[in-house]
Amino acid sequence: MTPTDTKNIDLSKHTVLAVDDIPMNLLLISKILSRLNITISTAANGREALESIAKNKPSLVLLDLMMPEIDGYEVLRRLRENPDTKDLRVVILSALNSNEDIVKGFNMGANDFITKPIILEKLTSCVITQLQLVELSGK
């Protein structure tokens, strides 16, 4: 199964939470993922993201790092410390793109790291791959 092969996976049963404080980014992500028949929910900051995840745990979180109130690193830290969300798939989607930022994200438990500006094919491929891994893990 190639990363963009969706024949063996029902994407419509998955929810992806996109977290970003810039409404245009949320709109772009939603537009890209809606083509895949994935349910998309959004949060404008880290606090909203944590509240949303507690109410309805998604299959995957696309997480910006630079946000007001609670930044993405803190959201990721809290997710990894919580037994209910420690295995939740998280992909960082950020304009921070130094080696230090990327390594920090992975060291904190991110499953992948995509730098902005968002490239449609890269985001699509990454999301499909992460959802395939969710299916394989049975969670």
Residue 1 confidence (pLDDT): 39
pLDDT-based confidence at residue 2 (cuts at 50, 70, 90):
very low
Distance, in Å, from the CA atom of 63 to the CA atom of 16, rounded to the nearest integer, reads 10
Average pLDDT over residues 51-75: 95
Give me the chain's average pLDDT, please: 92
Distance, in Å, from the CA atom of 85 to the CA atom of 139, rounded to the nearest integer, reads 11
pLDDT-based confidence at residue 7 (cuts at 50, 70, 90):
low
Class of domain 11-137: alpha beta
Number of H helices, E strands in the chain: 5, 5
Q: Using H for helix, E for strand and C for coil, what is the string for 12-36?
A: HHCEEEEECCCHHHHHHHHHHHHCC
Residues 8-23 have pLDDT tens digits of 688 889 999 999 999 9
Residue 3 confidence (pLDDT): 44
Secondary structure element (H or E) that encloses residue 99, with its range: helix 99-107
Average pLDDT over residues 55-59: 96
Average pLDDT over residues 95-121: 94
Residues 29-41 have pLDDT tens digits of 999 998 998 999 9
